[in-house]
Amino acid sequence: MSAGEQTSSGYILHHLQNLTYGKMPGEDGWRLAHNAEEAAEMGFMAIHLDSMGWSIGLGLLFCFLFKMAANKATTAAPSGFVGFIELVIEFIDNTVKDTFHYKNKLIAPMALTIFCWVFMMNAMDLIPVDWIPQLVALITGDPHMFFKVVPSTDPNITLGMSFTIFFMMIFFTIKNKGFMGFVKELTCHPFAPPTKGPAIVLAPLMIAINFALETVSWIAKPISLGLRLFGNMYAGEMIFILIALMYGAGLAFGIFAGFLQLGWAIFHILVISLQAFVFMVLTIVYMAMAHDVDEH
C-alpha cells in the first residue's frame, strides 16, 4: 500500500493497526477485524495474529540458527557464522557473570534467548515499512489488509515478556527466601517495623506503608520493562513511517527521504541493539534480586 493511495493520516493509522482476530460483541464465532474500531470492540481476548506470528517465527529462527551453529562447532578455531555465534554467547556469558553472582543454570540461557529474540524482533524495523504489507496485500488480494511486522511495537508482546519475567522473579524469590521471606520483603522494607517497646503499636501502620510501597515497586518493574521497549521501538517505527510518507511528495522529497531513511536505519541499529541489551540486563538484575538472600 503506497502513501499516495490514501491520506497521510490514513496511511499512518493503517501501518499502526495490528491484524486482529477476535469475537465481536453480539456475534457468533471469531473473525478478523476490518478496522481499528472493531479491533477495540473485540476486547482483551482478541489475538494480534501478525505480532504472534512474527514473534513465534523469529523465536523458531533463533533456535534453528543456534542449533545449526552447535552442529557445525568443532574443537578447531571457529570462523564465519559459528565464530559470530560464539562471540555472542561469550558476550552474554560475561555479562551474566558480571551481574549475577549466584548459582542458577537457567539464567545464562535465558539471558541469551532474551537478547537474541528481542534483537531479532527489533531488527524487523529495519525492513522498509511497505515491503511486507504490500506482499501480504498481493497474496491475500486485500489492499487494506492490516499487517505489522515489528512485534516489539506491540505492548501485548513486550508486556507479555516482562510479566513472564516478573512471575519468574516471584517464583525464585519464594524458592530462595521462602514464602515468609517473600512476605517479609513486602512488609518489612524499606522501614523496619518496631518489635518491642511502646513503639510496637506503630508496627501495623509501618507494615501497611511498607506493603503499599513495595507492591508499587514490584508492579512497576514489569510495566517499566515492557513499556520501555515498546515506547522506543514504537517511536522508531513511527519515524520510518513518516519518512516513507515523503516518497509520495515528489522526486526531490523522495531523494531526501532516501538519505533520511538510510541515516535513521544506521542509527536505529544502535537503538535495537541497546534496547535488547537493556531488556536482558534488567532481567538478570531482577533475577539477582530474587536470589539475594543475604540482603533479606
Tens-digit pLDDT profile for residues 1-31: 444 456 888 889 889 999 999 999 989 899 9
Contact indicator for 73, 82 with CB cutoff of 8 Å: yes
Q: How many CB atoms lie within 10 A of CB 180?
A: 9
What is the model's pTM?
Answer: 0.91
Distances (CA, A) of 147 to 14, 20, 89, 132: 8, 9, 33, 8
Q: What is the pLDDT of residue 87?
A: 93
pLDDT tens-place string over residues 46-62:
999 999 999 999 999 99
Spans of all domains in the chain: 55-291
pLDDT at 152 exceeding the cut of 90: yes
How wide is the angle at C-alpha 231 spanned by C-alphas 135 and 137, nearest 5°? 10
Q: What is the pLDDT of residue 296?
A: 47
Quick one: average pLDDT of 145-166? 96
Name the band, by pLDDT with cuts 50, 70 and 90, for residue 253: confident
The residues annotated with a catalytic role in the active site are 224, 228, 232
Quick one: average pLDDT of 236-259? 90
Chain centroid to CA 97: 23
Q: What is the pLDDT of residue 294?
A: 66
Q: What is the pLDDT of residue 295?
A: 53
Q: What percent of the chain has pLDDT over 70?
A: 97
pLDDT tens-place string over residues 178-230:
999 999 989 988 888 877 777 788 888 888 998 999 999 999 999 999 999 99
Taking the C-alpha atoms of residue 132 and residue 149, their distance in angstroms, rounded to an integer, is 7
Q: What is the pLDDT of residue 149?
A: 94
Of 155-169, 190-204, 257-271, least confident by mean pLDDT is 190-204
pLDDT at 272 exceeding the cut of 60: yes
Q: What is the pLDDT of residue 75?
A: 74
Name the band, by pLDDT with cuts 50, 70 and 90, for residue 95: very high
Q: What is the pLDDT of residue 60?
A: 97
- Per the structure block, which three cell numbers stand in for 265? 536505519
pLDDT at 162 exceeding the cut of 90: yes
Cell 491475500 locates to 140
Q: What percent of the chain has pLDDT over 90?
A: 71
Q: Which residue has the higher pLDDT, 216 or 143?
A: 216
Residue 74's contacts (CB-CB under 8 Å, 6 or more residues apart) are none
- Mean pLDDT, rounded, of the chain: 91
Phi/psi of residue 47, each to 5°?
Answer: -115, 130
Quick one: average pLDDT of 165-175? 96
